[in-house]
Structures are given as structure tokens and as C-alpha cells.
Amino acid sequence: MKKTVALLCVTLVAVWGCQPPDCDRKDCGTCGNACCSLSFHLDGVTSQAAYNKIMMNLKNGGADGRYSYSGGDDLRPYNISASFILQGVHMTLVHHYNDTLNFVLTDDMKPSIHPLGTTLHAFSISQIAGAYCDDGQNYKNLVGFVKALNMKYTETTVAGCPKPM
Ligand SMILES: *[C@@H]1O[C@H](CO)[C@@H](O)[C@H](O)[C@H]1NC(C)=O
Ligand SMILES: *[C@@H]1O[C@H](CO)[C@@H](O)[C@H](O)[C@H]1NC(C)=O
């Protein structure tokens, strides 16, 4: 039994083949499939500016040219805490595995703590059925994308994709 599990993990790693850097935050089954949930504080930008940039980068292919834009919406007319919502897809280089990316943008409500800024809740989940572990791809999808926004940020882990021990 143990041997089967080990063999399966080796096979999955070979198949997924996350391209470094940022492949060290593997997730195994957090969402019943591999996923990663992060929160980024984007310093000195409004949610509107961050939304425009995220949408543009998704439409342009993002950090590695393999991101795409699925849709997005301005939530401000609804007077709820979130300001914008977006969805995209990242496709891996080797086997063209697709991961769904979800983003929610919220303007800071406490200007005394952050003079001007936006919280970006970013989530990535493997689409392929049975992606128990992901070789770190979901974390990489998010952090690689956010780095390419060229915004100053701090990062917090919400769920999944744990730091290596
Ligand atoms: C928006 O929501 C806030 C807080 O829930 C409330 O105080 C305010 O009256 C609402 N504004 C409108 C236009 O509904
Ligand atoms: C991923 O999405 C692309 C574009 O929609 C599609 O061509 C490809 O077959 C998908 N990959 C898998 C493994 O389903």
C-alpha cells in the first residue's frame, strides 16, 4: 500500500513538472483536489487600479504567457465589502493542465493601518480530476502572477500550499 502511494506521488511529480522558481509550496488535497489560497496586500494602489492591471495581465497572458482571462465584475454598485471579482485560467507548459484562478479585491477600510491599499484574495485550484498533489503549481500560479503585476505587496497564506518544513 505504502509503495503504491509513493509510486503515485513520483508519477504525479513527473507529470505536473512545475517549472521553478516558486515550486516549493506543494498542496495535497486541501480542497478535495490540489489548491492554494493566499491573501496579498497591495500597497499604494486602489482596487480599481489593481483590477485593471490584473485584467490586463490575464488578457495578455501574464507572467509566462499562459494565463487567460475568463471574466470579471465591478461589485461596487452592490455595496458589499468586496469591490471587484475576476477569474482566469493558467495552463501548464508541458501537459497543458489548466488551473482555475479566482480573485477578489477589497479596498482598505482602515487608512490608519495602510495609508492606501487593496487586499487581493487569490485562489488557484487544479481542474484535472484527481489532482491530490500539485507539485507546487497552484502556489506558483498565484505568486508568479502577482510578482508580474509589479506592485509592492505583502503575502499571507489563507489555506493550503504550506511552506516546506
Ligand atoms: C452600504 O452599506 C453600509 C454598511 O453596510 C451602510 O451603512 C450604507 O447605508 C449602505 N449604503 C447604501 C447606499 O445602501
Ligand atoms: C486546457 O485549456 C486549453 C484551452 O481551453 C485546452 O486546449 C486544453 O485541452 C486544456 N487542457 C486540458 C488538460 O484539458
The residue extents of the domains of the chain are 2-160
Compute the distance between CA of residue 134 and CA of residue 46 in angstroms, rounded to an integer.
Answer: 33
Asked whether 96 lines ligand 2 (CB < 6 A), one says: yes
Q: Using the atom order of ligand 2, give the atom closest to the CA of residue 98.
A: 1
SS3 86: strand
Residue 11, pLDDT > 60, answer: no
Number of Cβ within 10 Å of residue 156's Cβ equals 11
Domain spanning 2-160, CATH class: alpha beta
CB 17 within 8 A of CB 94: yes
Confidence of residue 109 (pLDDT cuts 50, 70, 90): confident
pLDDT computed for residue 14 by the predictor: 47
When pLDDT is averaged across residues 151-155 and rounded to a whole number, the result is: 96
pLDDT computed for residue 17 by the predictor: 79
Compute the distance between CA of residue 34 and CA of residue 138 in angstroms, rounded to an integer.
Answer: 7
When pLDDT is averaged across residues 127-134 and rounded to a whole number, the result is: 94
pLDDT computed for residue 111 by the predictor: 58
Confidence of residue 81 (pLDDT cuts 50, 70, 90): very high
Residue whose CA is closest, atom 2 of ligand 2? Answer: 98
Asked whether 98 lines ligand 2 (CB < 6 A), one says: yes
Asked whether 97 lines ligand 2 (CB < 6 A), one says: yes
When pLDDT is averaged across residues 99-110 and rounded to a whole number, the result is: 91
> pLDDT digit string (tens) for 85-96?
999 999 998 889
Confidence of residue 162 (pLDDT cuts 50, 70, 90): very high
Share of the chain above pLDDT 70, in %: 87
Highest mean pLDDT among 17-21, 111-115, 144-148: 144-148
Q: What angle do CA 84, 67, 141 make, to 5 degrees?
A: 85
Q: How far is the CA of 95 from the centre of ligand 1 (A)?
A: 47
Q: How far is the CA of 23 from the centre of ligand 1 (A)?
A: 43
pLDDT computed for residue 143 by the predictor: 98
Q: Using the atom order of ligand 2, give the atom closest to the CA of residue 128.
A: 13
Asked whether 49 lines ligand 2 (CB < 6 A), one says: no
Mean of the per-residue pLDDT values for the chain?
Answer: 90
Q: What are phi and psi of 2, to 5 degrees?
A: -55, -45
When pLDDT is averaged across residues 51-70 and rounded to a whole number, the result is: 97
Residue 139, pLDDT > 90, answer: yes
